[in-house]
A and B are shown apart, each in its own frame.
Chain A
């Protein structure tokens, strides 16, 4: 099984975990990307959203499980063919929620390019933006190294 181990900077990443846990709590009962489902009947729509939400919660648990005792002692997280897919999805859910709830002060262009003057941001926004970038980096790492494994699964 293909496996990628990444050493993270504990002092940088550990504070971001508080933000990620808050996001996970916020998303426990709502979808990160609300979907227009006008063409579905009421019952089917309920089941549809319920299943999406269940998957979203499972994905988040996979991401949160990365930050275990090994992470807090060695700063190491590991991605493999089993956890790559849910973690990539969870990163997207969290990034969507960050934009929606914590990064309204930034334009879409700033979010897309990452070209932001960090010193000009208030602390909560700065931390949220750091988290936004961190999650994108995790996604890029997984896609770059495990894309073929994900596609093939």
Chain B
């Protein structure tokens, strides 16, 4: 029994470390060209945000210069960054160091 519990703890730690490694942020940076209404529409379209959430992130981009719009697994983060770039937003991938 003790051996088994120790094994479980090791697995849990390994699993937690894997999550930390796999967590990435999708960050949208400000640009002076895109219309506010356009950025809101893109956030709704690409990230599935509702109007309120899309406007909140748009204003964050506008006023603070950047907004973290999504956090999670790298593969999905890459897909979001690609889709945002298709709409010509400046979107970058960053490791989520907060986790």
Partner of A111, one of B33, B37, B87: B33
B residues in contact with A33, CB < 8 Å: 31, 85, 88-90
Q: Chain B, 76-99, contact with A by CB distance < 8 Å: what is the 0/1 string?
A: 000000100111111111000000
Q: Using Cβ atoms and an 8 Å threshold, which residues of chain A touch B87?
A: 89, 92
Q: Is the interface of A mostly helix, strand, loop or mixed?
A: helix
For chain A, the bracket of interface size reads: 20 to 34
Instruction: List chain A residues, Cβ under 8 A from B86.
Output: 52, 55, 89
Most buried by A among B34, B38, B82: B38
Which one of A35, A48, A111, A112 has the greatest number of beta carbons of chain B within 10 Å? A35
Q: Please encode chain A, from 106 to 125, with 1 for each CB lying within 8 Å of some chain B CB and 0 for all others.
A: 00100110000000000000
Main DSSP-derived SS at the B contact region: mixed
Q: Mark A129-153, 1 if CB is under 8 A from B, else 0.
A: 0000000100110011001001100
Instruction: Please name all residues of chain A whose beta carbon is closer than 8 Å to the beta carbon of B88 when the two chains form the complex.
Output: 32-33, 89, 92-93, 96
List CB contacts (< 8 Å) of B33-73 with chain A: 33-35, 37-38, 41, 44-45
Indicate whether B32 reaches chain A with its CB closer than 8 angstroms. yes
Which B residues lie at the A interface, using CB under 8 A?
Answer: 31-35, 37-38, 41, 44-45, 82, 85-93
Give A residues with C-beta under 8 Å from B: 32-33, 35-36, 39, 48, 51-52, 55, 88-89, 92-93, 95-96, 99, 108, 111-112, 136, 139-140, 143-144, 147, 150-151
**Cross-chain pairs A/B with CB under 8 angstroms, 17 sampled:** A33-B88, A33-B90, A35-B90, A35-B91, A89-B86, A89-B88, A92-B87, A96-B31, A96-B33, A99-B33, A139-B37, A140-B35, A140-B37, A143-B37, A143-B38, A147-B41, A151-B41
